[in-house]
Structure 1
Amino acid sequence: MTVKKTSVLVLDCAEPHELALFYARLLGADAQAGHEPDLVEVVGGAGVHLAIRKDHGYAPPSWPRPEDSQQAHLRILVDIADLDEAEREAVSLGAVPVDPDAGAGAREVRVFSDPAGHSFSIAATGWSV
């Protein structure tokens, strides 16, 4: 028998409420208190479920330095016609573009760093990870 499972990506940071608000605004979701004191959840329609956890000794990731690996990142999918608008929205909320090919013409995947330094991408629906 297989046990029913679900999953949630948990991002560590120094200020979970602020980072949860960033992702809630970016994803059109809601930020709400989690089941643990240092956890804030971001939930919404279309399968949005993240958690942001306070790490009292948090140090931001050092990627995209060439000697460091990315480890993991969040991929946000949008319709290809909405890529430019999604990028403008992310930047207006505090995301920092880190795509080395930025400005090199049409791109179906755009890479950013969130306000706490985690990498994420906005990609056209249908593009693989």
Structure 2
Amino acid sequence: MPSVTAGVVVLDCTEPEKLATFYKELLEAEETDATANRVEIKGADGIRMAFRRDVTATPPSWPRPENAFQVHLDFHVADLDEAERRVVGLGGRPLDTKDAAGPYEERGYADPAGHSFTLRRAVRPTAPKQG
């Protein structure tokens, strides 16, 4: 057994309840723990996230360099347009960025607290199975 295992992705924000609701709806997750200063959720795929109250939290300014990424999340989706409608309907906003080079089609967004994340179109392998 490894001595260190992955835990929970924690985002600092001024309103953890509000941000937890955004991600809970986006990921079709369930709330697993809540205190006055922290809310934790677990998605159907097992991802665990928590949202910690920090009354002095300021959103990242990405893509501007003065207060760059702080944290960045990638989520895989089958349909980018459908996922974008869902993000915007839940209170997220598209970020004005250039398309990233590489094998994935992706789009950048900010959650209601300003944390950036990317929706990446899930790409199925095209090579035949070996063995």
Query: Corresponding residue for 1:40?
Result: 39
Q: Determine if the alignment matches structure 1 residue 85 to structure 2 residue 73.
A: no
Q: After TM superposition, where is structure 1 displaced by more than 6 Å over at least 4 residues in a row?
A: none
Where 1:22 maps in the other structure, the secondary structure is helix
Q: Determine if the alignment matches structure 1 residue 112 to structure 2 residue 97.
A: no
Query: Corresponding residue for 1:53?
Result: 52
Conserved? CA contact 1:29–1:43, under 8 Å: yes
Where 1:11 maps in the other structure, the secondary structure is strand
User: What's the RMSD between the two structures over aligned residues?
Assistant: 2.2
CA-to-aligned-CA distance 1:91-117 (integer Å, 9 cap, x gap): 111111004248xxxx71110011001
Q: How does 1:18-33 map to 2 (within 5 A)?
A: 18-33=18-33
Where 1:18 maps in the other structure, the secondary structure is helix
TM-score (norm 1): 0.81
Number of matched pairs: 120
How far residue 124 of structure 1 moved from its aligned partner, in angstroms, is: 1.4
**What's the % identity of the aligned pairs?**
46
TM-score (norm 2): 0.80
Structure 1 residue identity aligned to 2:63: P
Structure 2 residue identity aligned to 1:10: V
- Name the larger-Rg structure: 2
Deviates more, 1:4-13 or 1:86-95: 4-13
Where 1:21 maps in the other structure, the secondary structure is helix
Please list every run of 5 or more consecutive structure 2 residues that lacks an aligned counterpart in the other structure.
125-131
Please list every run of 5 or more consecutive structure 1 residues that lacks an aligned counterpart in the other structure.
none
Where 2:41 maps in the other structure, the secondary structure is strand
How far residue 83 of structure 1 moved from its aligned partner, in angstroms, is: 1.4
